[in-house]
Every structure is written in structure tokens, then in C-alpha cells.
Amino acid sequence: MDDNRAGVGSTGFPGDLRQIDAGVLNVGYVDAGPPDGPPVILLHGWPYDIHSFVDVVPLLTDAGRRVIVPHLRGYGTTRFLSGDTVRNAQTAAMALDVVALMDALGVEQATLAGFDWGGRTANVLAALWPERVTALVAVSGYLVASQDSGKVPLPPSAELSWWYQYYFATDRGREGYRKNVHDFARLIWRTASPKWDFDDATFNRSAASLDNPDHVDIVIHNYRWRLALAAGEARYDDIERRLADKPTIEVPTISLEGDANGAPHLEPSTYRKQFSGRYEHRTVSGGVGHNLPQEAPRDFADAVLQV
């Protein structure tokens, strides 16, 4: 049931934040632009929220696009419908959240665009459900991975950049994150985007979404699952097996990378072969870090409109 919840709070987006039951979730989302416009779904990452796209949305709606921006599970006003549902953040579960949202909204096909967790999720949909994806814009390119690939050690310099993944693998890390969610997020924002001079108001607007009651469970499960330190759900096993084979993506794609991304990422040449359809890579200059849509909204919107 779609509940047009006026009064949820100022989002900075045109229109109010809405809520709709979709799959195992009641999803909080923005739905802006002409209802009959070509749909675009924007997917955020960790530890960010829908405000990563606050300056992207008007650029897309002005161009006639219908733009849907959901809070992922564990963020903002998105809630599980049942207390008994596993707080699972494995790749397949999060991808199917988007499929369920599209079904609930009556969106048969959409352009998907995202970064970090959202980029990973968009990749998975484009790879396994290409009939639902018009085109793809993916920050940091091909992000399809599996538990098997997560077991493979990397060079020490690469492992260093994943320090928080190993921290979260410990009970101390879980408790440390629970006690310091906002401080942790601010640290990641700074290290992942070392040249982005965001102010307190910008940070606090997004950090409020991390107060979701399921946020810590979702974050810890996500990173532990990647290292095969936490189990997924058996109902997703077939999907995860397909993803372990690193399927190619055939839908038209533009990948983006900021020239000052401080988060772990690969060189574009290493994943070019994973895109079998029309493909282009763009490096965004000017000290742009990991949160590319918020740091360079025009470049991100242009990619969505041009893909």
C-alpha cells in the first residue's frame, strides 16, 4: 500500500517522502518528476543515504525523467514488515528488494544508477534481470562479487583500505560501530572523499538515516557475509551461484570514477570485459571522491541521461 506520508520531514527533494510495502520491506522512497516519464532508480551506498542524489534528482526530472530514490534496507524510514525476517544484507537479498519495489510501483523497466552498495545492487540486477533494466550507470564499474571471491587475499596495500571490513568481523567492531555510528560514518566520508569539503549540515542530514533500528545488523551482516563469516539464506543460493560465475552485463552501461576516490576500487581496464553491450567509462576530475553523485551531480546526471 502506497502511503504518501506528508510530514515525514524535509528531505530536500521535490515532494514528500513516501512509503510502500514491497517484498519483506516497507520502503521509504522519493518519487519525483512526471509519473509517465522514463523511470530512473537511484541507489545509495554505505554510510550514505538518499541525499547523495539530492542535486541529481532535479537535473533528471527537468529532463522529463521519473526518478525513484529508495532508502536501502537498514536506512532511513525503510523498515522490515516482520520482526522475524532475517536481517540479511547479502547481495541477492538487496537486489531482490529493488525488484520488489519496481513490482510494487508498477515499474516494468528502469535505468539503474548507483554507487557503493547501490552500484553493486544495480550491477546484479543488470546482470541477472536485464529485462528489467533499460541501462546502467555504475560508479566504480563492475561490482559483482561472491563469498568465494571474498576469501581471496589481496596485496597488503589493498587490504589496508578494507580495514573496517575486518573490524566489523569482530565482536569489538560490532559494538564499536553500534556505539559510534555517526562518528564512524564521518570518518568514512572523509577518507573515501578526501577532497570533498562537506559541512555539518550536509553530513547530519544523511547521518540521521543511519539511526534506523536495523542499520547496525544490516551493515555487520553485509561485511561479514562478504568474507563468508556470516551465512546467507538458502533461498538465495541459486542466485549467488550465478553471481559467483561473474556474469557479463549486456545492457548499455556508463561506468564512472572520481579522480580522488579514497575507497577501494579497481582500474577500469580490469572490468571492461564484463560489459558485453554498449559501454563507456568516464573519469570525473576535480577532486571527486567516492560519493560521486553528491560531489559531481551534473556529471552523474549527464551519464544517466546519455546512457
Nearest residue to 47 (alpha-carbon basis) of 224, 204, 259, 255:
204
Q: Which three cell numbers mark 82?
A: 516482520
Assigned architecture for domain 2-306: 3-Layer(aba) Sandwich (3.40)
pLDDT tens, residue order, the chain (307 aa): 443 333 333 578 877 799 999 999 999 999 999 999 999 999 999 999 999 999 999 999 999 999 999 999 999 999 999 999 999 999 999 999 999 999 999 999 999 999 999 999 999 999 999 999 999 999 999 999 888 888 888 889 888 889 999 999 999 999 999 999 999 999 999 999 999 999 999 999 999 999 999 999 999 999 999 999 999 999 999 999 999 999 999 999 999 999 999 888 888 898 999 999 999 999 999 999 999 999 999 999 999 999 9
Nearest residue to 144 (alpha-carbon basis) of 275, 23, 40, 258:
275
pLDDT value at position 8?
Answer: 31
Sequence-separated (6 or more) residues with CB below 8 Å from residue 32 = 13, 14, 15, 57, 58, 61, 66, 67, 69
pLDDT value at position 271?
Answer: 92
Sequence-separated (6 or more) residues with CB below 8 Å from residue 134 = 38, 39, 109, 110, 111, 251, 252
pLDDT value at position 303?
Answer: 98
pLDDT value at position 152?
Answer: 85
Helix segments in 144-251, DSSP class H = 147-150, 156-161, 163-168, 171-179, 181-192, 200-207, 215-226, 237-244
pLDDT value at position 16?
Answer: 78
pLDDT value at position 51?
Answer: 98
Please give the model's pTM, rounded to 2 decimal places. Answer: 0.95
pLDDT value at position 10?
Answer: 52
Is the omega angle on the peptide bond into residue 47 within 30 degrees of 0, that is, cis?
A: yes
Backbone angles phi and psi of 126, in degrees to 5:
-65, -35
- Interstrand relation of 279-284 and 253-258 (parallel, antiparallel or unpaired): parallel
